[in-house]
Chain A
Amino acid sequence: MRRPLEWQIATVKAIAQETAQVKTITLVLPGWTAHRAGQHYDVRLTAADGYQAQRSYSIASPPERPGEVDLTVERIPDGEVSPYLHDVLVVGDAVEVRGPVGGYFVWEASSGGPLLLVAGGSGVVPLMAMLRHRAAAGAKVPARLLYSSRTLEDVIYRQELEALASRDGLEVFHTLTRGQPKGWTGYARRIDQPMLAEVSGPLGTAALAFICGPTALVETTASALVQLGLAQERVRTERFGPTGT
């Protein structure tokens, strides 16, 4: 029996700038419990007048780091919570959180594979938790990540993904939809069925797929993968739109 879900006061341990619009906030939790890769924490802000705003953020770190979690947050200009987390929050601040929550969009080393991960923008965050967990747990299941970003500068975790991809069994494919650097040899269009066929092909139709990104990307990808022969129940989706403020 798990503990009841309760709010707790976390302390900001570190803040790292990932891209122009994305930061990773490391929180130390007095009531930390091991999460499953793909789960979320809810963050609640309370104004002086009692008004509360609450959002759910994917955990980016693996469960193999006791006592703390990383939340990677995209700054949404008209958002209620993310501008505060980006512009106001500093190391040492207290933040009210509860979690880990969710169970549908999770992958554990024991879930097996082969693993097909498809991300759009900051939708890569829960998939990164899966890849970090895969590495930390020493899982050898073949894995492929197809990651759509606007430009190379918008790619979150770029260097870490390169490092992870040099290890056994993981391959990373980027597509840049708005602009490509000179000499770019990766994909340069929105994710479509031919791209998914190329990336998922070597994993076969028994692959376990996790798709996270804006609704349009999620729906296009999910239906294409089912058409390519993946079983519907092995295609998990999470809509991580610009409203994940």
Chain B
Amino acid sequence: MNDNDVVRDLTLDGNAVAGLLEEVFGADMTTADGECAHCGSANAVGALRAYTRAPGVVLRCPACGGVIARIVQTPRGTLVDLRGAAHLAMRR
């Protein structure tokens, strides 16, 4: 197993952080459509790659690998960085 395989095996997706996303946004976000600010491709948040073995959660575009969202929770609060999302469209 080389380093790339290790990273690949550590990859989850947006489904695995559905609870955290609902806590932060107040609604299920896995069915929200997100547009990647780096490459413009559109994907459901549930289909984004999720990296959870870190002090926070990183969601990446499955097409270009660009970071779409970072969410970090600390005892003092929650930081949400959405610079990599051109938009998030939530369904009613």
Contact = CB atoms under 8 A, between A and B. Distances in A.
Please give me the 8 A-B residue pairs with the lowest Cβ-Cβ distance, nearest first: A104-B46, A104-B30, A102-B18, A101-B18, A42-B19, A103-B28, A101-B19, A239-B13
B85 interface: no
B28 A101 contact: yes
A239 B52 CA distance: 13
B14 interface: yes
A105 B15 contact: yes
B23 to A, nearest CB: 6
A241 interface: yes
Contacts of B52: 243
Range for the number of chain A residues in contact with chain B: 20 to 34
Interface of A: 4-5, 39-40, 42, 56, 98-99, 101-105, 214-216, 236-244
Contacts of A237: 13, 47
B80 interface: no
A40 B12 contact: no
A162 B73 CA distance: 44
Contacts of A239: 11-13, 15-16, 49-50
Contacts of A216: 8
Nearest to A237: B47
A102 B12 contact: no
Interface in B1-49: 8-19, 22-23, 26, 28, 30-31, 44-47, 49
Nearest to B46: A104
Contacts of B15: 40, 56, 102, 104-105, 238-239
B75 to A, nearest CB: 10
Contacts of A236: 46
Given A5-B23, A56-B16, A243-B52, A102 B28 contact: yes
A172 B43 CA distance: 30
A214 B23 contact: no
Given A40-B18, A56-B19, A215-B8, A102 B13 contact: no
A5 to B, nearest CB: 5
B53 interface: yes
A215 B13 CA distance: 9
A113 B18 CA distance: 25
A237 B31 CA distance: 12
Contacts of A242: 9
B9 A104 contact: no
Given A104-B14, A104-B30, 11 more contacts: A5-B23, A39-B18, A40-B18, A102-B15, A105-B46, A214-B9, A215-B8, A215-B11, A238-B46, A239-B49, A239-B50
